Structure 1
Amino acid sequence: MSAPLPGMTAATEPPPLADDSAFSRLWRGFTTARVSIAVVLLLTLCTLYMLVPALNIDGWLIGLCTTYLVATIAVRIFTSPLPPGRTFDPQWVYTIGIDLLTFSTLQFLQAGAINYSPLFALPVLMGSVLGSALLALATAAAVALLLLTDAWVWSLHLPGEFAARFLQAGLTGIGYFAVAFLANQLAARLAREELAARLSQQAARMQSQVNELVIETLADGVLVVDAKGLVHTANPAARVLLGMGPALDSAPFELGARSGWQPMMQLAQLTFAQRAAQKAEIAVEVDGASPRRMHVRTRLTPQEHQAESLCVMFMEDLREMEARLRTEKLAAMGRMSAAVAHEFRNPLAAIAQANELMEEDLHEPGLKQLSFLVRKNAQRLAQIVDEILDISRVQHQGLRAPPALELDAAVSSTCADWMLQGKCADRVQVTLAAPRVQVPFDADHLRRVLVNLLDNALRYAGTRPDSIRVSTHAGEGPPTLHVWSDGAPLEPSVESHLFEPFFSSESRSSGLGLYICRELCERHGAVIAYRRVVAGPAGPGREGNDFSVVFRAGGLPLAGAASTDTIAA
């Protein structure tokens, strides 16, 4: 028995053959050849039966050929190929077995005075190519025995041809043995090569899929361009950077299709002309928008087997690069600021304490005014130090699951304390519409976020009873907290940097309040955002600044939820 193919053990059932495999094609070829031989045999015997009556061809021989033709057609239509290398299968009974039975019958009877021994090559080849080595040699042995038996039978009738017939049968049998062995070895090699090719094709396909996935998910834009400027591949990031619309949503497309892409086209042409990698900062004009500055790097693929080289272009938005650099600088500055702030606390506390002691002995109004200025600025410095240290604490706190917090209760308590401390209850309206809804947020952190938002709202709000509105909502979507004020709209330059650290539109502000709010929200899976919106039914037509906190999905209402509560100061 031949050894099983790689990846297949003798105890496991071989997988079915694919329709495009070499052995499937060989199977179809052999079955078609059997049908063709059956047709030729039937036509030959019918012709001899009608034209040469002296041969005394019996009608049952024609019936035998007809039956053989029907059997071969049935096998060709209704059977499917089996994996090679099998020692025996019932399918060989009605393929090789029928062939041996039919051909040996015709050979023994010498129907039509024809030598049918060459036909035995078909079952020998079929068993050798599609079966195991044992089956191939067994088929060749059976054919050799049949030929020797036929020679012995004829030697009984014609003793004078004994030696010649036995020699011819022996040589034919040896030839069939050689054909069976060589054909089986070639078939085994073909099976190994085909399996290796399929494994290589599968590995190449998998590698191609991985490459495509990596390119598709890259944050940098990737273009693959040929020497004629035809783009073969463009990942989503590249399409965004180029400002592509639906008309050019998929490759291939011409890089020179738009005038704004000419710098890219020129850089690709320079890469092909110099056969070297290039690097440049270019500006690409996008329809309806300002030019987009990009850092572009090019590489040429190796030129192998007369294949055309391709230019791979890596594009990176300079604004994102600058933003990353700015973030790194801010992080370094934050670490340094935290260290400096820590060192400031003790001297600042000593200054404040000394000022309080000195203020007890001051009686002149001018000196008291100077002491008041010292105390006020010391308090301001202490607040800035605390905010800087708060950022450091937020960034270095360990991640842990926050407890479930009842949103309306926490907002109501924080707003009541804030209004009492700031004495501004006459300007705040609180509307709670998330009864008994819990959110995954630390109570102290939510208080800090809400107080920062309320302080900002109070700084710019008007004096009407509903100039500041705090509201909660919990419908089909996640729970939401809103802090709205009727202040003037923010300038675009201020809005674009609203949540960045150390950025403020006021000279006396540290610019850390909203940044701390964003950091705390991100730690709890919430999202804080700003937009300019129109107020609700209580003040139709009034626009204001709305800061919203969308909590992480998963807030669940408790049993016995109450109706919506409205607290108006």
Structure 2
Amino acid sequence: MTARVALAVVLVALLASLTLIMAAGSVSRWLVALSFTYLAAALGVRLFTRPRPPGSSFDPQWVSTIGVDLVVFSTLQFLQAGGINYSPLLALPVLMGSVLGSGLLALGTAAGVTLLLLMDAWVLSLHAAEETAARFLQAGLTGTGYFALALLVNQMAVRLAREERAARQGQRAARVQAQVNQLVIETLSDGVLVVDTAGRVHAANPAARVLLGFEQSGDARFTLTARPAWQQLVTLAATTFERHEPQVADITIPRPRDEPRRLHVRTRLTKTDSSQVERLCVVFLEDLRELEQRLQIEKLAAMGRMSAAVAHEIRNPLAAIAQANALMDEDLREPALRQLSGLIQKNTQRLAQIVDEILNVAQIQPRDRASLPPLELDPAVGSVCSDWAVQTRSGARLQVALGAPGAQVPFEPPHLRRVLVNLLDNASRYASEQAGAIRVTTALVEGHAELQVWSDGAALPPAVEPRLFEPFFSSESRSSGLGLYICRELCERHGAAIRYRRRSAGVAPGAREGNEFFVSFGAQRPALAGAAPFDTMAA
């Protein structure tokens, strides 16, 4: 369309110049007006329309572009304005039909142009009969050339359009793949660096920047040689480029205000088929602490499976020992022997409790929380606390405040009982004998029901607190270390969370400090009513 406008400008300038320079009457003024009209039509199509590729038929769009060109150029050719041969201009509509249209439209346009040339030759032959053969021959040869031009250009245009569609599809697929790759790399927990031979980092995912202690936002590019702490990475990348082999090493990156970070590093070189494309080194970073934690988790899982199997095998012989000891105790009369029998009974009971706890951990099965019937929290907690106070004779030490009336939680009653009894047993073990040494509270906190078990025990050592909920961990030699772990497993499988904190029993001055385990439930709650005051649970 731009070429049509340029050609129209040339025609207007040419015919206007001939009209001014040559003698009057050599160029008709209406031909000049025709060229101005053609310029206006070409500008209108160029500025106000966006032509679509024509179809195989002569549609209105064909008339406004190719048809207009044929009419204007054939008129100029028939009238021979200024004695100029305008037949080469007829190549423009042929090219336009071949590039934008189908093969049928290209051949139809070439046929129309050929007929116009033959008609022009016939009209000229009427005035000069001696040049008839030459004119028809020239018209035929020109028409044949236009047919060949239409076929070749149309095939080239079709192939170019096919290649363009394939290229666009490839670009879309490449963009999608690049977005997927970027998303995968950005969400990886392992660090990924792309480094060149000069140590410049072309790409670094967030995990790599955190592992390197380089949290600067903005452009991801930086240089490994910028910090002395990264020198080991520079050496590994240089070795990879020098030997053209992957490298594996464990390194330590010092940090000014924190303990050094230990990393497991693997390097790989990118592949390239061209010597002109620079090869890059991809560096994979893994935090050795996370690796050790994963190994520890797998070890604990294996230990748990083995423990469950051993506990299952121990249960029957242990029951037989306890039964035999009870039968033997009936016939014992000497105090020393009865003391030994009591010691056997006490230790068999302890072993039986450990076996039951291990089997309870192994038997906890996940359940769909949506299928759980809602459990009213306050009555369930009150019932469990009453039973526990009676069984342990700890009513004088226990206080209960139920401050979540009507709150319902998705928790199975036997499992909630087990969690609360474990927490109460744990509190009783470390609490004092004073009144109110153990306090159980329910409340609504930020729209979620919460169960709190507080005791006035001593503060936990700093090394113990991070490992409270680990299996088989206990600060006492005679404990299995599974009570809090069972509580955490049951809470997580019911959509709740259990945590520990050190806090005072109240806001009054001189309030006692103690240890509190609290369970946050994840169900909708009614509006908070006033919390009930602490009441002493009667034994």
User: 1:289 maps to which residue?
Assistant: 258
Which segment drifts farther, 248-257 or 136-145?
248-257
Deviation at 1:337, TM superposition (A): 1.4
Pick closer, same or farther for the CA change 1:465–1:182 going to 2, 3 Å. Answer: same
Unaligned runs of 5+ in 2: none
C-alpha contact (below 8 Å) 1:408/1:437 kept by paired residues: yes
Q: 1:472 to 1:89 in 2, by over 3 A?
A: farther
Letter in 2 for 1:226: D
Q: Do structure 1's residue 188 and structure 2's residue 158 form an aligned pair?
A: yes
Q: In 1, distance between residues paired with 2:92 and 2:355?
A: 96
3-state DSSP class of the match of 2:304? helix
Greater Cα shift, 492-501 or 185-194: 492-501
**1:28 matched to which residue of 2?**
none
| Alignment pair present for 1:225 and 2:192 | no
Tell me the C-alpha RMSD between the 2 structures. 2.0
Shift of 1:84: 6.9
Aligned pairs for 1:2-151 within 5 A: 31-83=1-53, 87-151=57-121
Partner of 1:300: 269
Separation of aligned partners in 2, 1:210 and 1:84 = 38
Counterpart in the other structure of 1:23: none
Say if 2:394 is the partner of 1:427: no
Structure 2 match to 1:239: 209
Determine if the alignment matches structure 1 residue 368 to structure 2 residue 338: yes
Amino acid at match of 2:168: R
- Structure 2 counterpart SS, 1:565: coil
CA apart distance, 1:148: 0.8
Work out the CA distance in 2 between the residues paired with 1:286 and 1:198: 48
Matched residues in 1 for 2:152 and 2:83: separation? 32
Query: SS in structure 1 opposite 2:182?
Result: helix
Is the CA contact (8 Å cut-off) linking 2:404 and 2:449 kept in structure 1?
yes
Partner of 2:429: 459
Question: Partners in 2 of 1:331 and 1:503 — Cα distance?
Answer: 14
Distance across 1 between alignment mates of 2:54 and 2:400: 80
Paired residue type of 1:380: R
Q: State the 1:434 CA deviation.
A: 1.9
Q: TM-score, normalised by structure 2?
A: 0.94
Distance in 1 between the 2:511 and 2:199 partners?
A: 54
Q: Which residue of 1 aligns with 2:238?
A: 269
Number of aligned positions between the proteins: 534
1:529–1:343 distance in 2 versus 1, CA, 3 Å: same
Summarize the Cα distance change of 1:250–1:444 in structure 2 as closer, same or farther, 3 Å threshold: farther
Query: After the TM superposition, which parts of structure 1 deviate over 6 Å for at least 4 consecutive aligned residues?
Result: none
The percentage of counterpart residues that share the same residue type is 63
Q: 1:363 to 1:250 in 2, by over 3 A?
A: farther
String of CA shifts for 1:230-279, please: whole Å, max 9, x gaps.
1122222222222222x356511112222222222222122122211011
The answer to whether the 8 A contact 1:239-1:249 is kept is: no
Give deviations 1:411-456, integer Å, cap 9, x for gaps: 1111111112111122222222222111111111111111111111
Alignment of 1:428-443 (within 5 A): 428-443=398-413
- C-alpha contact 2:56 2:104 (8 A) present in aligned 1: no
Q: Which residue of 2 aligns with 1:7?
A: none
Structure 1: gaps spanning 5 or more residues: 1-30
Secondary structure in 1 aligned to 2:435? coil
Deviation sequence 1:4-52 (CA, Å, 0-9, x none): xxxxxxxxxxxxxxxxxxxxxxxxxxx1111111111111111111221
Distance 1:200 1:391 in 2: 54
1:9 counterpart residue number: none
Q: Deviations over 1:155-209 (max 9, x none)?
A: 1122122111111111111111111111101000101111111111222222212
Residue 565 in structure 1 maps to residue 535 in structure 2: no
How far apart are the structure 2 equivalents of 1:449 and 1:72?
85
Per the alignment, in what secondary structure is the counterpart of residue 71 of structure 1?
A: helix
Contact 1:222 1:234 in 2 (8 A): yes
**Is 1:202 the counterpart of 2:176 in the alignment?**
no
